[in-house]
Amino acid sequence: MSEFFEAIWHGEGVGDGGDLEEALQAFVAVKPEEGDWVEACAAEGADPVIERFASFEAYLDNADPLERIAVTPQMISEALALLPS
């Protein structure tokens, strides 16, 4: 079994991935129009976070995450820069 990661924005899941980078790239779904991740992440309630689960099955079984990783604007920007144009 491999780990599973879920991207959380304003308390809601916005995407997921099989690794941290892929989960960070899921934030593309909420990309701010101006492209300013610093401002977007600072907005009240945004609280971007990645939840790490032992496996996809654990996630589906509503297991508690093994870890909650605080996400910075730089982490999102760097991950999105790796996406194909």
Residue pointed to by tokens 């779904």: 29
The residue to which tokens 């870890």 are assigned: 67
What does the pLDDT read at residue 35? 87
Number of structural domains, the chain?
Answer: 1
Longest dimension (CA), the chain: 39
List pLDDT tens digits, range 28-77: 999 998 889 999 999 999 999 999 999 999 999 999 999 999 999 999 99
Choose among 59, 58, 37, 57: nearest CA to 48. 37
CA–CA gap between residue 83 and residue 22 (Å, rounded): 10
Residue-level pLDDT at 1: 63
The helix (run of H) or strand (run of E) holding residue 84 is none
pTM of the predicted structure, to 2 decimals:
0.92
Of 56, 64, 74, 58, the C-alpha closest to 16 is: 56
pLDDT at site 85: 76
